[in-house]
Structure 1
Amino acid sequence: MRMDELAKAAPKPTGVGEMFQLLRDGQPRTRSDLATLTGQARSTIAARVDALLGSGLVAPAGEATSTGGRPPATFAFNPAARVVLAVDLGATHARLAVTDLAGTVLAEHSEQIAIADGPAPVLDRVAELGHLLLDKADRQAEDLVSVGVGLPGPVEHSTGRPINPPIMPGWDDADVPGHLGRRLHVPALVDNDVNIMALGEHATAWRTVDHLLFVKVATGIGAGIISDGAIRRGAQGAAGDLGHIAVPGGLDLPCRCGNTGCLEAVASGPAIATALQAQGLDARSSADVVALVRSGDLAAGREVREAGRHIGEVLAACVSMLNPSMIVIGGVVADAGEHLLAGIREVVYRRSLPLATQHLRIVTSRTGARAGVLGAATMAAEHVLSPAAIDALVG
């Protein structure tokens, strides 16, 4: 965008934190540029640039082209100034990364865990790994400014506490932010795993897409909703819980939530594995299902495609309600490839209104297994780079 277009489009910042947002894109700008964009006095701009330079979040970026006389100095966002710890916890895995404030991964680690061991041992291990990753990234503890965490269950985002998570015994109402905050001495932000996957996919692969639905198909099925460019969590953080919507005309299969015929009971990885076991195949998990599909097993391919159709039945209603321009399919079962996508597309395009599907794209995740940590890093960085946080830092 040209400077004059940006000046017209951008709201006029009133404080240093809001002015800093103009530099978040990394493009070098002069003090004169910032004065034009904000309409503020050169002396005010100079003082605010000096404050940001002092924080390290903005750094000199060379000189602009001279229009006569001495070339003016430029300044840009310095994402390397601080780091965040990103944590993606699943039922049986932990993925962690230390990233800079732009989400560039500096060090990462994955290992098997059991979320059912409870919050204290799992979070203590997270804190231990966080310190190890800081060392691996050659960063000091004081460089860490926040932690982002994704959990495999419902989370009240305002408090960061899990709410009756079905596969996390002992975690209900656990003070996850408090526990990690005490161990790592920085603020901790917590959300459910599908929301952070949606954030990671959006920030990394589809930043210009304002209306996106990220669907995770694995042990459970859930969705993260990006609308008007921002994640939408709902009143209690339960938005996007696709797995417990009844499949239209679905099978009367029991679900772990206590109901029957839920999408998760019909089309999740374990549900597909159970259907294949009934046909005499050795499938105990989502990974086994994917391996069978990749080996060319016809029965596995048929079952995955049928699961895609069931998911499509629910997503067709979501498309009519939310009108996304993109649906991204992630999670372990998405690794089965076109079989799942074909089933989803078949039903969504047939059942949704033409206006809603006119420009709708249905694709697989580009970030794959990294979606969660990238989203956790995005959530953690946004917290410390918000206008209010910058005002507090340099005020």
Structure 2
Amino acid sequence: MTGRPGRTWRGGSQTGAGDLLELVRSGRAVTRGALQQATGLSRATVGQRLDRLFRAGWLREGAGGAVGSPLGGRPALTLEFDGSHAVVLAADLDTRHARAAVLTLTGEILAEHAGTLAIDDGPETVLGELGHRFAGLLEKAGYPAAGVCGIGLAVPGPVDSETGRVVQPPIMPGWDGYDTGGRLSRAFTEHTGAPAVPVLVGNDADLMAYGEQRAGYPDCRAFVLVKVSTGIGAGVVVDGSLYRGADGGAGDIGHIRVGADALCRCGSFGCLAAVASGGAVARRLAESGVPATSGSDVRELLAAGHPQAAALAREAGRRVGDVLATVVTLLNPGVLMIAGDLAGTPFLTGVRELLYQRALPRSTAQLDVVTSRLGERAALIGAGALVVEHLYAPDRVEERLTAMGV
């Protein structure tokens, strides 16, 4: 028996309060009778373990009222995860901007701020400023800092999922190997006076993919998101779980060599990002006299209908589509989502032209090529979801309840 995708269900006498919470959160069992039937536990044991979750404030009787019990007898009250008992903080760093938010445990944004923050300023400065912004957002949301249960952070570089540290990032000078989670946790405490909380760090494209898949395509078994902004990266979700590779480097398609002679920010020549990213398009526009320095500038030009920007975006889309033909053939995704600064009609047209021309028909027969639903909030939603899945995983639930004395 399985819980959420990618998790092994223990069942029987090993079933703890965390497993029951998982069944309720996933919607697989939302009454006491259904929990008995799913786990094989007695009514008394289910009641005892649910009582711990009620006392912790993590579970409540659902607003749906009573439903028929699978064990017969009187209708049973539904149970639901109480997403209001704590909040999560999340931030998404780009090269020149940062977006931060306070979210409920179910992903609703309570307060949000977007503004300039240059990643080139280094981790000490950037993470310290995020701590300050988090404090302001909590005040804006009217929520006490003591109610924060964790922080999620999206960064534009590879992240080792075991250590939470950025690894050899091409566009994040000074961040390689830095204790990002530790510094952000300290900054949160310094600016709020609240105790330290867990900090989870992830690659921005990964967390965008996680947020988009969970919000819009929960039944898609293989989901790929490609973010095309200042650089190019991809996030992959397989069976509901992020695929990060051996050390967090999966999806770094911006550094696939495409035979061009352009110098990439990573120091190599011919990378896809050097010729087809928002930054590359901005450089070509600047060379022709159009003021543009970044992917966000290109996005504004595209929104204004600038013909040269549209032509270059379509050309960039064709280059990315050529690479994605290989990605689609390898992974056979059900959804391929294009996101980021260039994710408009010209770029998407170029992607489709080369993708369907180069990939085998078998690989694209069931493929939907779409654009982002969550837009600039995708990484925030994904970062928040990552924290919640971490903190409310069955084993961690048991640890946390014990630490709370429940």
Question: Fold conserved (TM > 0.5)?
Answer: yes
Q: Aligned with 2:24: secondary structure? A: coil
Residue matched to 1:218: 229
User: Quick one: structure 1 residues 270 and 72, their matched pair in 2 at CA, closer, same or farther if it must change by over 3 Å?
Assistant: closer
C-alpha distance after superposition, 1:18-65 (max 9, x if no partner): 111111046883322211121111111000110110111101236525
Structure 2 equivalent of residue 30 of structure 1: 31
Q: Is the 8 A contact 2:23 2:29 kept in 1?
A: no
Deviation at 1:74, TM superposition (A): 3.2
Bigger drift between 302-311 and 20-29 goes to 20-29
Shift of 1:138: 1.9
Contact 2:29 2:38 in 1 (8 A): no
Distance in 2 of aligned mates of 1:227 and 1:42: 36
Give the aligned partner of residue 95 of structure 1.
Answer: 99
Fraction of identical pairs, as percent: 44
The 1:352–1:236 alpha-carbon spacing in structure 2 relative to 1, beyond 3 Å, is same
SS of the residue corresponding to residue 253 of structure 1 reads coil
Match of 1:39 in 2: 40
CA-CA distance at 1:287 after TM superposition:
2.9
Partners of 1:201 and 1:375 within 8 A in 2: yes
- Once the 2 structures are TM-superposed, how far is the Cα of residue 140 of structure 1 from its aligned partner? 1.6
How far apart are the structure 2 equivalents of 1:349 and 1:206?
Answer: 22
For 1:129, give the aligned amino acid.
R
1:22 aligned counterpart, secondary structure: helix
Pair 1:266 & 2:275 matched = yes
Is the 1:25–1:77 contact (alpha carbons within 8 Å) kept by the matching residues of 2? no
**What is the distance in 2 between the residues matched to 1:108 and 1:339?**
30
Deviations 1:305-356 (A, max 9, x none): 110000011101111111111110111111xx21111110111111111111
Which residue is equivalent to 1:6? Answer: none
Contact 1:180 1:188 in 2 (8 A): yes
Q: Name the counterpart of 1:388.
A: 395
Q: How many pairs does the alignment contain? A: 383
The answer to whether 1:303 aligns with 2:312 is yes
Structure 1 position 209 matched with structure 2 position 216: no
Partner residue in 2 for 1:237: 248
Query: Residue type matched to 2:43 in 1?
Result: R
Equivalents in 2 of 1:139, 1:266: separation in Å?
45
Following TM superposition, where does structure 1 have runs of at least 4 consecutive aligned residues deviating by more than 4 angstroms? Answer: 65-71
Alignment pair present for 1:131 and 2:135: yes
- CA RMSD of superposed structures (Å): 2.1
The 3-state SS of whatever aligns with 2:100 is strand
Whole-angstrom distance in 2 between the partners of 1:26 and 1:228: 17
How big is each residue's C-alpha offset from its partner over 1:110-159, in whole Å with a ceiling of 9 and x where there is no partner?
A: 11111121212211111122222222222222211111111121211211
Task: Tell me the CA shift for residue 66 of structure 1.
Answer: 7.2
Give the aligned partner of residue 176 of structure 1: 180
Task: Give, in angstroms, the shift of residue 229 of structure 1.
Answer: 1.9
Q: Is the 8 A contact 1:189 1:380 kept in 2?
A: yes
Q: Structure 1's 42 and 332: CA in aligned 2 closer, same or farther, altered over 3 A?
A: same
Secondary structure in 2 matching 1:178:
helix
Q: 1:48 to 1:114 in 2, by over 3 A?
A: same
**Is 1:275 paired with 2:284?**
yes
Letter in 2 for 1:240: G
Match of 1:45, SS?
Answer: helix
Kindly provide the amino acid, as one letter, of the partner of residue 164 in structure 1: Q
Judging changes above 3 Å, is the alpha-carbon distance between structure 1 residues 381 and 320 closer, same or farther for their aligned structure 2 residues? same
Structure 1 contact 28–76 (Cα < 8 Å) conserved: no
Specify every segment of 5 or more residues in structure 1 that has no aligned partner in the other structure, as ranges: 1-8
> Matches of 2:289 and 2:125 in 1, distance apart?
39
